[in-house]
Chain A
Amino acid sequence: MLTLDLFVNAIVAGILLGGFLAAVSLGISIVFGYLDIVNIAHPAFVVLGSYAVYILNSTFGIDPLLAGIAMAAPFYLLGILIYRFYYAFFERHGAESLRGLVFFFGILFLVEVGLNITYGVDYRMVNAFYLGKSIEIGLVGIPYRLLIPFVAGVAMIFIVYLYLSKTFYGMAIQGVAQDSLAARLMGADPIKIKSVAFGMGMATASVAGALLIMISPIEPSMGREYIGRVFAIAVLGGMGSVVGTLVAAVLLGIAESLTSTFYSPSMAPAVSFGILLLVLAIRPSGIFGR
């Protein structure tokens, strides 16, 4: 049943979903792409961000998005701590990133169990005056529940892109990613720079957590459902490409939305991963990979 109305709405829904998925994947893209750290715990950190937002929203009535932004600073510091620990026990000894995977698996379980013990396993949601409302523009209906995560996700990606390409520290992160030894010979401190990059990845998890809890109820183990999707987006976009992350997320969002609307919702993830395989066959380094 192909109608213009359905088609346009499916495309718009896909784009909105893509903005949200890009926000969730951005931390992976930075940490995996620039630091070669397989931070499989990132989706768990996103859920941790959701809980932080939930507490601020339910206790103080703070808007979820503002709460997510406010929590970005503590998350940044937490990220620096985690990286320092990872560096001291893995990276410094020349351990391969695959061994670091075990470390982050452990962190993932710690975060889940910690949330489980502290807040229980009940589903948590937030309240905001705009959730549940939508705007109509011609044929298209846009729920604020998706529009705000999209706008916030794209804005966050834009800010991170500007930071990485225009600031000294941003360019230093790229320099360390390309050749850590050369950066050290230039007088840079790769560990400090990597700490900043990891902290930045964690800070994005806080904002992404706010977007997640606006879209869906959360519970401690929910991050697992996003592990495959976020890594697929990071790889599809091209390792370390922030713009690529957004493009890949929107591409997969549109593919999933069109499949759900016109074919079968159960096939949507298969179509997404099919696209991933196809793109990697043609461009092994991803859409924007170098």
Chain B
Amino acid sequence: MNGLRVRAVRLGKYFLCAIAIVAFTVPAVHAQKPLKIGFSMALTGPLAQAGKGALLAMQIWAKDVNDGGGLLGRPVELVYYDDQTKGANVPLIYAKLLDIDKVDFIVSGYGTNITAPAMPLVIDREMVFISLFATAVNQHFNYPYYFQIMPAGPNPVVDWSAGFFEVAARQNPKPKTVALLAADAEFAQNAVDGARENALKHGFEIVYDQSYQMGIPDFTPIVRAIKARKPDIVYVMSYPPGSVGFVRAAKEVRLEPKIIGGSMVGLQYTSIQMNLGPTLNGIFNYWFWAPEPTLNFPGIEAFLKKYQAEAPKQNLDPLGYYLPPFAYAYLQVLQQAIEATKSTDQKTVGEYIRQAEFETVVGKVKFGPNGEWARSRMLFVQLQGIESHEMVEFTKPGKMRVIYPEKFRSGELIYPFPGWQ
């Protein structure tokens, strides 16, 4: 019995020692109340592919911050709910985040249709609100603490396509006619308004201007109708299935204008790039980031390394060039503002973001009066020299040549479009 008691006392001592060691060695950050950042995210539904990638990037950011001691000495905690890519779910989610979860800050989910429904509540509660790839959401609200991380510029509707038409207008011989095709959705309709304005500004004649309903299985009739107008430029605003459908149909019908591309979402996704492979060569399209030497911003390589190690386990885009760096960056903006002001007061942090410039993994970010980037940094790249369907093809420099803007240019536009391969 005695021996048992001695052993129990000894075990108790070890246990107390262990607690003491843990208490002294675990950073003080974990003793603090967490700083909660709340958001909705498209984890199911049509935009889930991008939404899940964004979430992973945000989780990497949270880990990086917590590994570095947290924010204002407090660990960061992400509180999020699946909005199912439905705007109707968004107001309730943000009400719950603010009233029940009592988060300290909120940021938006992915996209215009998800960001806009949160705005009335955000404005009512006077919260700082940084959004992830929403187009012109603040144009009617003019809310001072709204910020948007997509580099579309102060007038996103027009700035979105400005670079495309500027480059087109510089070509010799100058193209004369344009065909515009847009998906019947808010982003694409906004973008086509701007494209129309830019086309007319540069003196192009619009010979085809149509929308299509999302979900159509075949683009062949549309592509033939465009081809019959013989446009010099074809500018398409589409979502991933539509982008693939359009490219395949254009190749099959041999629609080969002088410039083809525009705002096709999805061509930046690795799975689509691998499937289309050399078919992509010559397409001139908007882009956000590519492994070009001119876009090697501080921290981007380290971030992508962490992302690419985890993404395959979650069946996400294995390279993650499109949205994840920006999902990381919009939290960097919030982080830097909180650190600089040493405050969680919404007004203090919001005022700081309005005037400061931020160093992020997507480059330097400065916001203009309406919360959009003060100057557009929409990239237009031409896909060149793609020889296979292998993923490694898209990790090399020189495959997504930045043509616009000049500051980040890494190659020359092959003009006219060399034809489908």
Q: Is B328 an interface position by the 8 A CB rule?
A: no
Chain B residues 257-294 with CB under 8 Å of chain A are 266, 269, 271-272, 275, 279
Q: Which residues of A contact B229 (CB under 8 A)?
A: 1
> Known contacts A122-B317, A217-B241, A266-B210; is A143 also within 8 Å of B220 by CB?
yes
Give the A-B contact count at a CB cut-off of 8 A: 140
**Are B225 and A113 touching (Cβ within 8 A)?**
no
Q: Is A246 an interface position by the 8 A CB rule?
A: no
Residues of A within 8 A of B (CB-CB), count? 51
Q: Is B144 an interface position by the 8 A CB rule?
A: no
Q: Is B87 an interface position by the 8 A CB rule?
A: no
Q: Which residues of B contact A21 (CB under 8 A)?
A: 217
User: Which one, B51, B218, B228, contacts A3 given CB within 8 A?
Assistant: B228
Q: Which residues of B contact A141 (CB under 8 A)?
A: 252-253
Q: Which residues of B contact A256 (CB under 8 A)?
A: 216, 221
**Are A123 and B225 touching (Cβ within 8 A)?**
no
Q: Which residues of A contact B184 (CB under 8 A)?
A: 266
Q: Is B44 an interface position by the 8 A CB rule?
A: yes
Q: Which residues of B contact A261 (CB under 8 A)?
A: 221-222, 224-225
Taken together as a complex, chains A and B put the C-alpha atoms of A217 and B279 apart, in Å, by 15
Taken together as a complex, chains A and B put the C-alpha atoms of A81 and B187 apart, in Å, by 43
Bits for A116-159, please: 1 = Cβ < 8 Å to B, else 0: 10011111110100001110000001010110000000000000
Q: Which of B135-143, B243-251, B298-306 contacts A (4 or more CB under 8 A)?
A: B243-251
**Are B214 and A125 touching (Cβ within 8 A)?**
no
Q: Which residues of A contact B397 (CB under 8 A)?
A: none
Q: Is A13 an interface position by the 8 A CB rule?
A: yes
**Are B225 and A217 touching (Cβ within 8 A)?**
no
**Are A221 and B49 touching (Cβ within 8 A)?**
no
**Are B220 and A146 touching (Cβ within 8 A)?**
yes
Q: Is A20 an interface position by the 8 A CB rule?
A: yes
**Are B211 and A264 touching (Cβ within 8 A)?**
yes
**Are B245 and A216 touching (Cβ within 8 A)?**
yes
> Known contacts A122-B271, A125-B275; is A216 also within 8 Å of B244 by CB?
yes
**Are A134 and B252 touching (Cβ within 8 A)?**
yes
Q: Is A275 an interface position by the 8 A CB rule?
A: no
> Known contacts A119-B315, A141-B253, A221-B44; is A6 also within 8 Å of B225 by CB?
yes
Q: Which residues of A contact B389 (CB under 8 A)?
A: 127
Bits for B363-399, please: 1 = Cβ < 8 Å to A, else 0: 0000000000000000000000000010000000000
> Known contacts A119-B315, A143-B220; is A225 also within 8 Å of B215 by CB?
yes
Looking at the assembled complex, report how far the CB atom of A6 sits from the nearest CB atom of chain B, in whole angstroms: 6
Taken together as a complex, chains A and B put the C-alpha atoms of A146 and B245 apart, in Å, by 12
Taken together as a complex, chains A and B put the C-alpha atoms of A261 and B226 apart, in Å, by 9
Chain B residues 195-216 with CB under 8 Å of chain A are 210-216
Q: Which residues of A contact B98 (CB under 8 A)?
A: none
Chain B residues 162-186 with CB under 8 Å of chain A are 181, 184
Q: Is A74 an interface position by the 8 A CB rule?
A: no
Taken together as a complex, chains A and B put the C-alpha atoms of A215 and B216 apart, in Å, by 11
**Are B52 and A120 touching (Cβ within 8 A)?**
yes
Chain B residues 296-326 with CB under 8 Å of chain A are 314-317
User: Which one, A120, A132, A221, A266, contacts B46 given CB within 8 A?
Assistant: A221
**Are B271 and A1 touching (Cβ within 8 A)?**
no
Q: Is A222 an interface position by the 8 A CB rule?
A: yes
Q: Which residues of A contact B210 (CB under 8 A)?
A: 264-266
Tell me the nearest residue of chain A to B274, going by C-beta: A125
User: Which one, B49, B218, B244, B245, contacts A13 given CB within 8 A?
Assistant: B218
Q: Which residues of B contact A260 (CB under 8 A)?
A: 212, 216, 221-222, 225
Taken together as a complex, chains A and B put the C-alpha atoms of A265 and B253 apart, in Å, by 17
Taken together as a complex, chains A and B put the C-alpha atoms of A261 and B45 apart, in Å, by 30
Q: Which residues of A contact B272 (CB under 8 A)?
A: 123, 125, 217
**Are B225 and A17 touching (Cβ within 8 A)?**
no
Q: Which residues of A contact B212 (CB under 8 A)?
A: 260, 265-266, 268
Q: Is A10 an interface position by the 8 A CB rule?
A: yes
User: Which one, B181, B228, B240, contacts A1 given CB within 8 A?
Assistant: B228
Q: Which residues of A contact B271 (CB under 8 A)?
A: 122-125, 217
**Are A265 and B222 touching (Cβ within 8 A)?**
yes
Taken together as a complex, chains A and B put the C-alpha atoms of A99 and B228 apart, in Å, by 50
Q: Is B48 an interface position by the 8 A CB rule?
A: yes
Taken together as a complex, chains A and B put the C-alpha atoms of A127 and B317 apart, in Å, by 19
Taken together as a complex, chains A and B put the C-alpha atoms of A10 and B221 apart, in Å, by 6
**Are A216 and B222 touching (Cβ within 8 A)?**
no
Tell me the nearest residue of chain A to B45, going by C-beta: A221
**Are A145 and B248 touching (Cβ within 8 A)?**
yes
Which of A's residues lie within 8 Å of B, judged by CB?
1, 3, 5-6, 9-10, 13-14, 16-17, 20-21, 112-113, 116, 119-125, 127, 132-134, 141, 143, 145-146, 212, 215-217, 219-222, 225-226, 256-258, 260-262, 264-266, 268-269
Extra A-B contacts (6), CB below 8 Å, given A6-B228, A13-B220: A20-B217, A143-B249, A215-B218, A217-B271, A258-B221, A260-B225
* Sample of 27 A–B contacts (CB below 8 Å): A1-B225, A5-B228, A6-B225, A9-B224, A10-B221, A10-B224, A122-B315, A122-B316, A123-B49, A123-B240, A132-B251, A132-B252, A141-B253, A143-B249, A145-B252, A146-B220, A217-B271, A217-B275, A219-B48, A219-B241, A220-B44, A221-B44, A260-B212, A260-B221, A265-B216, A265-B222, A266-B213
Give me the 7 closest cross-chain CB pairs, A-B, nearest first: A120-B315, A225-B215, A265-B212, A121-B48, A260-B221, A143-B252, A125-B275
